């Protein structure tokens, strides 16, 4: 086939070249059309494809019905019924109409129109001879109309040719992909978020300004949510979109950070462009400190690697995007962070983020509202949640949600009842126990009065027991007594029997060489005990941590004691933190620590009685035994007043002394004599 060229170009003008040009141009246009349709199919969303197919099917059915109408009226396609039918089809075709059905519909309208005009002119001319003189004028008008309608018919394909020409020329609007359309309207509403009424009111003020249809003379946009983790910042942002029935774009800012220079800024721009293309929308920048931290100082020698410039560029790009889109109707910008002080001040100033809202841990009333809102989303039998709210101090909304979720699992498909929530509450916490060997009642030897007091105290620590008896648990207990009487072992016994988290703090764990380090460690210890409640804070050797002020004292000791007083006074009954301390010298502890409401209970751990020594002796002897000549009463009388630790050392030394009488290769220690114990007492140098 000859190579085609456009008519008018310098080429031999003959029939072969003319046909070659038209055939080649037609093939090229078909190829461009196929390429255009394939490209649009790749970038179209599922909803766009479904809508296009629906329009194609409906248009084809209408045009097919139009064709059948004309065929049924043959040989009189010039009837008024055909004329009305073809123009009715043109009016009811779905918009935008696919090009091929539109071309056929216009062609049928052209044929019906010109045929009807010609037929009815002849009919009118025959009925009125005076009109015959106007045949020439009618013929000219009819020809012009026919030509115009032919052009109109072929203009049905003009849109495709124009788009193909733009693609071929590399038009920027087609080369640059437009953001994909999507829909994400949350089902969460403000009523699903318990408490936070002042926060909701402030959010409504800006949401009305940006998301309502009416125009506002002033532009207010940008809501920054900050506060501790788990306080519901993401939830309130999602509920804002759900409340106003708009799209919700949740942007996790750390995901925008790229590995290469410039990629992070491009991701920020693309994110805001996507939000603008899907208005009305709430764009939520979660963990905004990942891309909006304080800018680094720039100067000679301060940024050798260039990382600081890129770091600052990301923050600047974010500010630029906020400035560009904040005045756009139907777009509300929200952000959240746990580190307000780490954000760039110029990013969060008024004019970018007009409202800054702090979300703190809820109080008792707010916790009750949150619990009711969470339980309302599940199946439950209504009950008074005030008791549960009272027993969950410093709990975040996220932790309360976990409580309800576990209660729902416990209910196993049945409605959640109060007993399910209480069971989960009582089983939560109390399990954070740094390496500690469990201690049973058989492992300690204590006077009967002390055992009775401890059992009463442990019973009151059981969940719900103190409330039933209306007998509050004391805040703190101090165990006093001579060295080696088992004060530390008794503290471990209380932790084991009460099933509580246990934190043993010695002076080495608290005291720090850094300025303010000791008070910070003490504050962290109390915070951890509250978080893992029910718990026990055990202060070993309290006189070394909180010494009484006698004469000159260092500022460090003053600050540590004052911080301890603040932390202990801040403890409430619902925190469920029990304090235990030990000391050998009660008079050396700051008296303010010992007053009622702090370490108000004092129990002295004395030395064992005769029966106690017999229990200890049976434990420490092991496989060894006493000689028949040594009476048990004589031995207990001899060691009376000795602490359990000294008594253990004495028995061990006596067993070593008896080994002098062992036969070679013997596996048994000879019976212990009185002389062995006398020798052991001399070695141990026990004081009576």
Q: 22 lies in a domain?
A: no
Q: Give per-residue pLDDT as tens, 226-263.
A: 998 888 899 999 999 999 999 999 999 999 988 787 88
Token readout for 15 is 């029939």
Q: 28 lies in a domain?
A: no
Q: Give per-residue pLDDT as tens, 363-394.
A: 888 888 889 888 888 888 888 888 888 888 87
Q: 12 lies in a domain?
A: no
Q: Which residues of 622-636 are buried (b: 16+ CB within 10 A; e: fewer)?
A: eebebeeebeeeebb
Q: What is the pLDDT of residue 275?
A: 93
CATH number of the domain that 218 lies in?
3.40.50.300
Residue 374: give the domain boundaries.
Answer: 364-427
CATH number of the domain that 392 lies in?
1.10.8.60
Q: What is the pLDDT of residue 34?
A: 61
The last residue of one of the domains, among 604, 620, 641, is 604
Q: Give per-residue pLDDT as tens, 260-315.
A: 878 899 999 999 999 999 989 999 999 999 998 888 766 555 554 456 677 788 99
Domain identity same for 333 and 318: yes
Domain identity same for 203 and 351: yes
Domain identity same for 400 and 273: no
Domain identity same for 262 and 376: no
Question: How far is residue 309's CA from residue 299's CA, in Å, rounded to a whole number?
Answer: 10
Q: What is the pLDDT of residue 150?
A: 82
Q: 2 lies in a domain?
A: no
Domain identity same for 449 and 401: no
Name the band, by pLDDT with cuts 50, 70 and 90, for residue 164.
Answer: very low
User: 58, 94 in Cβ contact below 8 A?
Assistant: yes
Domain identity same for 574 and 450: yes
H or E segment and range at residue 264 = helix 263-277
Residue 170 has pLDDT above 60, yes or no: no
| DSSP letter assigned to residue 43 | H
Listed ranges 62-76, 174-188, 596-610; the one with the highest mean pLDDT: 596-610
| DSSP letter assigned to residue 586 | G
Name the band, by pLDDT with cuts 50, 70 and 90, for residue 8.
Answer: very low
Q: Give per-residue pLDDT as tens, 618-674.
A: 888 888 888 878 888 878 888 888 888 888 888 888 888 888 888 787 778 888 888
The last residue of one of the domains, among 152, 175, 198, is 175
Q: What is the pLDDT of residue 4?
A: 41
Domain identity same for 420 and 468: no
The last residue of one of the domains, among 175, 199, 215, is 175
Residue 597 has pLDDT above 90, yes or no: no
Higher pLDDT, 543 or 268: 268
Higher pLDDT, 600 or 323: 323
Q: What is the pLDDT of residue 176?
A: 45
The whole-chain average pLDDT of the chain stands at: 80
Residue 567 has pLDDT above 50, yes or no: yes
Q: What is the pLDDT of residue 356?
A: 94
Residue 89 has pLDDT above 70, yes or no: yes
Domain identity same for 147 and 55: yes
Domain identity same for 270 and 326: yes
Q: What is the pLDDT of residue 19?
A: 63
Q: What is the pLDDT of residue 160?
A: 45
Q: 237 lies in a domain?
A: yes
Question: How far is residue 488's CA from residue 541's CA, in Å, rounded to a whole number?
Answer: 10
Domain identity same for 51 and 134: yes
Q: 112 lies in a domain?
A: yes
Q: What is the pLDDT of residue 686?
A: 47
Residue 175 has pLDDT above 50, yes or no: no
Long-range contacts of 93-96 (CB under 8 A, 24+ apart): 93/58, 93/59, 93/62, 94/54, 94/55, 94/58, 94/59, 96/55
Q: 234 lies in a domain?
A: yes
Q: 211-220, 299-308, 543-552, 626-635 — which is least confidently predicted?
A: 299-308
Token readout for 136 is 């020439």
Higher pLDDT, 36 or 203: 203
Domain identity same for 446 and 407: no
Domain identity same for 462 and 508: yes
CB atoms within 10 A of CB 27: 11
Q: What is the pLDDT of residue 157?
A: 73
Q: What is the pLDDT of residue 310?
A: 76
Q: What is the pLDDT of residue 115?
A: 80
Q: What is the pLDDT of residue 430?
A: 66
- What is the domain count for the chain? 5
Q: Give per-residue pLDDT as tens, 475-512.
A: 889 999 888 888 888 988 888 888 888 888 888 888 87
Q: 303 lies in a domain?
A: no
């Amino acid at each position: 086939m000859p190579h085609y060229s456009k008519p008018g170009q310098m080429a031999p003008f003959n029939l072969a070249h003319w046909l070659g040009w038209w055939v080649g141009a037609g093939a090229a246009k078909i190829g461009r059309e196929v390429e255009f349709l394939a490209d649009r199919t790749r970038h179209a969303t599922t909803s766009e494809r479904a809508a296009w197919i629906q329009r194609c099917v409906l248009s084809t059915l209408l045009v097919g019905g139009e064709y059948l109408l004309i065929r049924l009226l043959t040989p009189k396609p010039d009837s008024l019924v055909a004329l009305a039918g073809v123009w009715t089809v043109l009016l009811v075709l779905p918009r935008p109409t696919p090009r091929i059905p539109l071309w056929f519909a216009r062609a049928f309208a052209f044929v019906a129109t010109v045929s009807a005009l010609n037929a009815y002119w002849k009919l009118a001319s025959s009925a009125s001879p005076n009109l015959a003189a106007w045949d020439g004028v009618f013929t000219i008008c009819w020809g012009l109309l026919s030509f115009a309608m032919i052009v109109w018919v072929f203009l049905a394909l003009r849109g495709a040719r124009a788009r193909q020409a733009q693609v071929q020329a590399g038009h920027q609007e087609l080369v640059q992909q437009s953001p994909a359309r999507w829909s994400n309207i949350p089902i969460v509403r403000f009523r699903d978020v318990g408490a936070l009424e002042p926060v909701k009111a402030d959010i409504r003020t800006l949401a009305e300004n940006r998301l309502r249809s009416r125009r506002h003379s002033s532009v207010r946009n940008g809501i920054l949510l900050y506060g501790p983790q788990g306080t519901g910042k993401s939830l309130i942002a999602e509920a804002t979109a759900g409340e106003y029935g708009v799209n919700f774009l949740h942007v996790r800012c750390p995901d925008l950070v790229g590995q290469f220079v410039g990629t992070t800024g491009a991701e920020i721009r693309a994110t805001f462009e996507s939000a603008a293309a899907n208005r009305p929308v709430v764009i939520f920048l979660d963990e905004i400190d990942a891309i909006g931290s304080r800018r680094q100082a720039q100067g000679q020698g301060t940024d050798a690697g260039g990382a600081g410039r890129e770091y600052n560029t990301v923050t600047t790009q974010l500010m630029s995007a906020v400035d560009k889109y904040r005045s756009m109707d139907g777009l509300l910008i929200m952000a959240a962070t746990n580190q307000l002080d780490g954000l760039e001040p110029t990013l969060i100033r008024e004019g970018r983020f007009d409202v800054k809202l702090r979300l703190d841990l809820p109080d008792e009333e707010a916790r009750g509202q949150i619990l009711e809102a969470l339980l309302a989303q599940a199946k439950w039998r209504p009950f008074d949640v005030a008791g549960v709210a009272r027993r969950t101090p410093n709990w975040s909304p996220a932790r309360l949600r976990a409580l309800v979720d576990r209660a729902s699992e416990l209910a196993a498909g049945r409605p959640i009842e109060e007993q399910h929530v209480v069971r989960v509450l009582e089983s939560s916490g109390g399990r954070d126990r740094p390496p500690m060997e469990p201690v049973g009642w058989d492992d300690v030897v204590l006077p009967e009065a002390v055992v009775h007091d401890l059992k009463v105290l442990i019973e009151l620590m059981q969940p719900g027991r103190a409330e039933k008896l209306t007998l509050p648990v004391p805040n703190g207990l101090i165990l006093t007594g001579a060295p080696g009487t088992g004060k530390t072992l008794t503290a471990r016994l209380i932790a084991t029997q009460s099933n509580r988290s246990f934190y043993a703090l010695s002076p080495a764990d608290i005291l720090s060489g850094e300025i303010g380090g000791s008070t910070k460690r003490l504050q962290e210890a109390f915070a951890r005990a509250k978080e893992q409640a029910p718990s026990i804070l055990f202060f070993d050797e309290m006189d070394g941590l909180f010494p009484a002020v006698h004469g000159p004292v260092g500022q460090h000791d003053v600050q540590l004691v004052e911080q301890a007083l603040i932390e202990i006074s801040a403890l409430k009954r619902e925190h469920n933190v029990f304090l235990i301390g030990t000391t050998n010298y009660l008079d050396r502890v700051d008296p303010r620590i010992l007053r009622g409401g702090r370490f108000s209970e004092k129990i002295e751990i004395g030395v064992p009685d005769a029966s106690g020594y017999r229990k200890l002796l049976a434990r420490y002897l092991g496989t060894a035994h006493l000689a028949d000549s040594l009476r048990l009463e004589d031995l207990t009388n001899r060691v009376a007043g000795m602490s359990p630790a000294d008594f253990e050392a004495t028995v061990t030394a006596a067993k070593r002394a008896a080994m002098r009488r062992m036969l070679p290769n013997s596996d048994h220690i000879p019976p212990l004599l009185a002389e062995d114990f006398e020798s052991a007492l001399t070695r141990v140098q026990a004081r009576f």
